[in-house]
Amino acid sequence: MLRAASLRVTRVRLAVLEAVSSNPHADADTIIGEVRNELGSVSKQAVYDVLAVLVETNLVHRIEPAGSPARFETRVGDNHHHVVCRSCGDIADVDCAVGHAPCLHASNNHGFSIDEAEVIYWGTCPDCASKRLRIENDLTSTRSE
């Protein structure tokens, strides 16, 4: 993948790609931790620089949900979307909402040539919903006793 993107193959680039691939939607701190586990001492800046190059060459996709640090994934080129849990911040992929990329047709493109649409769905993941229901049930049980 690196060579196909005309990039030199280095240990840090390979480790960052592996970390992103193994941890979809991970933030930079998580990726840095994974890379350090693999290689030992690596500077944060080195990992940030590699992430920037991988995003620029379209080997990695960067998403930035509101209120969350940037997240990275290796699923690129298909203009998929994401669903984010408001409680825990968990993120999952959602395939294209309607039609072919860019998935949504703007009502007015203002002269832009649109090639991508980014949609983020917000809600509560099953784990957080289940925890909330247990807490509500516990509160109801306590009040009725």
Rounded to the nearest integer, the mean pLDDT of the chain is 88
Which CATH code fits 77-145?
A: 3.30.1490.190
**For residue 97, what pLDDT is reported?**
61
Residue 99 confidence (pLDDT) above 60? no
Look at 55-69, 75-89, 103-117, 121-135 and tell me which has the smallest mean pLDDT.
Answer: 103-117
Per-residue model confidence as pLDDT tens digits over 25-63: 999 999 999 999 999 999 999 999 999 999 999 999 999
CATH architecture of 1-76: Orthogonal Bundle (1.10)
Q: Output the known binding site.
A: 85, 88, 125, 128
Domains of the chain, by residue range, sit at 1-76, 77-145
Residue 105 confidence (pLDDT) above 80? no
CB 121 within 8 Å of CB 82: yes
Which of the given ranges, 88-92, 100-104, 106-110, has the highest pLDDT on average?
88-92
**For residue 33, what pLDDT is reported?**
97
Residue 143 confidence (pLDDT) above 90? no
Between 21 and 133, the higher pLDDT residue: 21
User: In which band, very low, low, confident or very high, does the pLDDT at 125 lie, cut at 50, 70 and 90?
Assistant: very high
Q: Output the known binding site for Zn(2+).
A: 85, 88, 125, 128
Q: Tell me whether domains 1-76 and 77-145 share a fold.
A: no
